[in-house]
């Protein structure tokens, strides 16, 4: 188990993760709890460089396995350089997407299957999230929220791809039910915020990071 608390947010594009992450930031600031906010792909200098390559719309020739390996490379660097040291020093880490994104998008969406989990086990080692929030929202609704011109290489994919990703998420959440908390993301932002804060608060108390 991690010394600090490792929280990840997952879900289809346009499911409102960024808004909820900004609410979590406010919450941790208010409580005076030391928290690192980060994202994938990215989070480190090398990770952000890889992000640019992975999401660049002009990189049409990128094959699926190269894509999966680049996400995993960004993650390996992220875990080693930022996430593990932060958790070791007892901090809370909130990460916008992590290993489950690869399993859903590359494993299910690109249909690379179990190879994605294997690659990523090398990338993360023992460093797994304590809590993963899955923002449940039909991909068609999420996609309609994103301006077409602003869509990156993955967001641009057809609805059929995003439906496969979403189906993957639901399977993963069932399989790892001990760390997944599924949230109905079709509700208003405040209702979602309250669900997240309640779960986070409980985990902070269980670990003695927040006292009653």
Buried b (16+ CB within 10 A) or exposed e, 195-211: bbeeebeebbeebebbe
CA-based end-to-end distance of the chain: 23
| From 77-85, 123-131, 150-158, 186-194, span contacting ligand TMP (CB under 6 A) | 150-158
| From 82-90, 94-102, 124-132, 166-174, span contacting ligand TMP (CB under 6 A) | 94-102
Closest contact distance (angstroms) between CB of 211 and ligand TMP is 34
Q: How far apart are CA 103 and CA 131, in angstroms?
A: 17
Angle at 177 between CA 176 and CA 180, to 5 degrees: 90
Nearer to ligand TMP (CB atom), residue 2 or residue 106 = 106
Position among 78, 97, 136, 193 found at the interface with ligand TMP (CB under 6 A): 97
Position among 105, 133, 169, 180 found at the interface with ligand TMP (CB under 6 A): 105
Task: Give yes or no for a contact between 168 and 109, defined as CB atoms under 8 angstroms apart.
Answer: yes
Angle at 172 between CA 169 and CA 176, to 5 degrees: 140
Buried b (16+ CB within 10 A) or exposed e, 6-36: bbbbbbbbbbbbeebbebbeebbeeeeeebb
154 is a site residue for ligand TMP (CB under 6 A)? yes
180 is a site residue for ligand TMP (CB under 6 A)? no
Position among 24, 40, 70, 93 found at the interface with ligand TMP (CB under 6 A): 40
Q: How far apart are CA 85 and CA 90, in angstroms?
A: 9
71 is a site residue for ligand TMP (CB under 6 A)? yes
Nearer to ligand TMP (CB atom), residue 84 or residue 209 = 84
Residue number of the CB atom closest to ligand TMP: 105
Nearer to ligand TMP (CB atom), residue 71 or residue 166 = 71
Nearer to ligand TMP (CB atom), residue 78 or residue 209 = 78
Restricting to residues 186-205, which ones interact with ligand TMP according to CB under 6 A?
Answer: none
Residue with tokens 């399989």: 175
3-state secondary structure of 189: helix
Residues of this chain that bind ligand TMP (CB under 6 A): 13, 39-41, 55, 71, 97, 101-102, 105-106, 152, 154-155
């Amino acid at each position: 188990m991690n010394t600090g608390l490792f929280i990840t947010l997952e879900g289809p594009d346009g499911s409102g993760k960024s808004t909820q992450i900004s609410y979590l930031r406010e919450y941790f600031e208010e409580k005076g709890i030391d928290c690192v906010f980060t994202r994938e792909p990215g989070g480190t200098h090398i990770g952000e460089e890889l992000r640019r390559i992975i999401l660049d719309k002009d990189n049409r020739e990128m094959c699926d396995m190269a894509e999966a390996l680049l996400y995993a490379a960004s993650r390996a660097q992220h875990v080693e350089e930022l996430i593990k040291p932060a958790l070791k020093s007892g901090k809370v880490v909130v990460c916008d997407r992590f290993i489950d994104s690869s399993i859903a998008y590359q494993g299910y969406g690109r249909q690379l299957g179990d190879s994605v989990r294997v690659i990523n086990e090398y990338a993360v080692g023992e460093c797994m999230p304590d809590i993963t929030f899955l923002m449940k929202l039909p991909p068609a609704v999420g996609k309609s929220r994103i301006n077409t011109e602003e869509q990156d290489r993955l967001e641009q994919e057809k609805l059929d791809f995003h439906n496969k990703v979403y189906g993957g998420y639901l399977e993963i959440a069932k399989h790892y039910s001990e760390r997944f908390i599924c949230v109905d993301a079709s509700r208003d932002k405040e209702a979602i915020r309250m669900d997240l804060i309640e779960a986070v608060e409980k985990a902070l108390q269980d670990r003695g990071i927040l006292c009653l």
